[in-house]
Structure 1
């Protein structure tokens, strides 16, 4: 019995310690797994949530609940499913793997029991959330897919869909699918003709497919499509594939071809003229003009794609139309529009029109029979080059009929007019009126033609003088001055090319110094100075002048001495101003050239040969000097481009005669920049709002007077004592420099901060600037400046001023009354001493 008792006690102790050993092993396993993550693995009895990945290995410890008496054991109830257990030592563990697809949440209750097995704590609610892992591959809903697509379908518009499913959690990458088109067969262009949307599985054509798909070339394609889970972003993703067979159908969406419509149709409108059709049902259609700006179209399209003309058309207003037709669905165009071209066909609905109300021709009275006079022109608004616009001409009337009727002939087809007989005589008939009948196939029009018989040029111009003598002119006489009037006459018909006179200097003026203008009404000639006279070059001109007509003389008539005259022009000397070889000079120089540097040489001469002396005018800065004899110009001072550029002066050339005449030329000196100026402050002050908040900075605005300054290359150094260095910081960020406070406890006042700025030029220039930094109270982001005292006095001040004024007035009045009183007393004393006469007293009363 003792042995048996010891055996039972041993089994009891084994069970007790065995449980402790299991807990310890699980605890060690969990500690080993989670030690690096620093996850708390034990704690008191309380509500608890756990997140466990599905497929986790059996024997996994979740948590160890610590309890105190009177609790001696724990009881677990709920969705344990034989997987979740707790041992008496409080260790919650899994004895096999969880499955997300079977159950996503296990809801449990935990109770603390005393030694009698009664609940003394709880229940506590324990939720174990199962987290999905990627343990299910995607599968397509169909083993094979079939679809059709129309030729020239819009790229990117789906014509079919494929779909796959995945049992994993769709809210994670595990259940997110991505579709890919691996290839298609055949692939004749080595370019993908189809594409699949990686999210929706929509299949559409690419731009290449829109262009190349043609059922006449290849009618069927097999698309190798695959799907990946984990959104196709992991090498461990599962995949599946399927075949999609696509049949290419002929494109129905095409232009209807050229549409022809007879103009001015009398049929009831609208009239059907063409038909378009989208590849799939359900579309509606719209038309729009191709012209810019858009015009109202006399066409419409219905929901069946039938195109109508809505009104009669007039070819003479518009002979062709071109517009777009769109196929749309829910306001979106389904493809590119098709173009509809309409030609308006002509009918003979316009009569001939005379191009001019009166057509005029000229013919000389000695014109030879058969000669061409001119072409009469009419027009027809019907289509050019058709029988509707072909015109015929006929002369149906001539007035006067002298010397005979039908003196003229017009070509039936071209309208060319010729003279039939050499019988014209201007003295008998100076013009002829013709009626020309113009006809097309339907209409006729009569037009008026006037033929003027013009005089022949059988008279020559004759000068009134054969010699106009001498004319004397000073050489400074202005160009354009008339120096003489001449006159010739012509016996031909006035105001015609036969009688008009043209005057020409035929000899003695090789440089065209003179010109002659003719008055068209009187044929009077005006001899005019055409170029500047120069005594030194040509002191005397011997001119031969001829008079001619613009019309050629008739055969047998020639110009003779009567049509020529002579004129002599003497030019007298005038003292002229010096002449510069150039009126303007432009020179470029560096601004830092040394004194005495040669700039340029001015050159002038005096027409009379006098000596020239040079000087400068408007040399306001005295930067230049000129050699008075040679005209050479040199620098005379240090120049500065930033002060003035360009520097413009006048060069004066003065003849060394009693008259001392002079002339000027202009010198423009363009100074080229050198780096000779240090950077400067654009704004000499910035401010920060008090109290300082930290992370504040203000931009330092700088500029450099030099033209080639490049602010991004500037460097900045903060100067000053330790106080400045400890309180402020200067930094550079890209293009600009900034100042910022290091010490946020700066008091409210103005600070002068010295900064050295270097422009890093060639040569480098640097300077020290003082930036005034205000630390101030701010109102609406600006420094608050106390308002000056009001210019108007307060009430108390006003009362004080008023009292003071009254006191002053009282003192003045007191002084006045005191003086009047003393004056009165003085007069009384004077009266007693010197009594007035009775007459004086009477006059006073």
Structure 2
């Protein structure tokens, strides 16, 4: 077969494959639907057959000059390439005509669905992006977003895009930046949050890639500037103890991003003595010399607050390490350290470990100790019977020369020195070695089983559960006869301990941890009795040194407990009524149902679901009324409400701009002398009841105000100044408009009363202006007073005359009817 024939066959097979969804490539005329891939030329789609001889095929519809049918053999084909982006579906009609041009068959509907291929590249909406990010930004917080599109079919992988960072310049390991592969959001990584610094510039080569089998990609440049975040913790500070430098001594400083902060120090732990403070500009001082032996490290926090007391950001951790100096000598473990050794011990046997201490810094030369054996007394049968390891302090037998009849006690003098600089400190300690008889008797319990004991689960710690006793017939008051008790089985959580009376060897089984019936109802304890000294080679412990004790735990109805010791929530003060604040959870050890309630809800702001513990607001909150609201949470057993627990819920209200600005004080009484010789002015101050005063305030006047102008002094003050001087002598009311910087901004219109008046020599108003004066003069007041008295006099006279006339006419009867009216006149 020739090469040309092979190529023809391969081309034909490819054409066949490109026709999808058909079981065969020919058939009689009928409605048909085909799927054809775009961008493929000379595609044979289907061969239509006619039931009528001598007929020809015709095709009408959305052929776009590409789709055609052979009029004689009925082959439907795409002579050129279809384009999904131009037309996604082609609607066609096919029919056959006879020799006269009349329709013989059809028309039939042909639908050709164009299958998209990945023939479009993704495109960024910008070739270059610029953004900025603050150092120490939160990892994962998007500060810039890139965006790309793809003209291919969005329902196929051809247009499903993913983003990635190809390269970071300058490069780093690990990477500082990350991109969300779906959204294109760029953020810093955890390492970037910690390592990028202000002033640095980075470039990212960002790639967008479609998801086709043979994908296309496009890249863009992202330029990033790192800006400073000066609210950063200083590095750990090291201060030498017992410093002789002048105090207070500055040790560190912090700065908020503006100059309006108030700084506070807060202890992480409650120190008995806290010798640090911070000043108004953020400098941190130590008040007095520190002692490393008192505390080697201080960790506390510095917080920045606004002048309204609102914390502006997360606190910064301050770490102060106290540097050790060699100011403490080694300390002997006791006035006399006593060891025991059996007289039959061999060479190299360990007698004990001698451990002195040094309270200087651990793992430093100042506390690294060396031991040196200075003398042995007595030297019977000879000297240097003992060996003391110089670093570990292990005391061993160097010679087998012990004989309890010759010497039952040895006194050793040991020099202990540290390696501090410039001069090591030394101490001499005493060791007493008692030579004892061999340990050839084992402890034997009086009882092999101490039976059962039942105790309540709420029994206090250190309560004695049982007393046990074993006997040992070895030499009294030696390690051979001293008994140690140990629980070997039945106590996996170390709920019990055994303390021993060294005089009597009596053991006391005590509660070490609080018992819990719900966790374990029964403890079967297996107790062993042993000696500190090793047994003689031919002797071994047996069952006589083992006893048993079974402890049953009695269930007690316990109070519920909250799964958190403190609940707190911060919300904006304008949250809608019914906003969920938290879900409170309490647990009853016995599994009883819990009922929740509130106490101390003095403002009736909150409610809690009795059954679920969900807390909601039930009224509008107001930060200006109460910014930190506390209520008590109560969890009670359903079947025994007296069994309850309580904790505190703290609600912190975040301020919103719900208070318009206002004047900080009254300006009533502002006056200027007439005639005005120069433009006078009034300084006014504004304030805001919101937690964070939304300054700077904006001051303005009504547009039609021609006599005054206003100028800003700072964020809270402005100067109201005359534009002219020819003011009449009267009262004026100047309206000032004040806007804050909240979202949305609030506005208020305030009035500044100004009086232009005649003045005395002291530049004080002599008399108020005539116009607009609402207060009467002294003369007017006297006239009104005298006029009123005259009218009253006339009325009294008229009444008096009238009464006298009635007396004459009616006599005493009229007086009896109205005695109260006549009584004042008779007096």
For Structure 1 versus Structure 2, the TM-score category normalised by the shorter chain is 0.3 to 0.5
TM-score, with length taken from structure 2: 0.41
Larger radius of gyration: 1
TM-score, with length taken from structure 1: 0.40
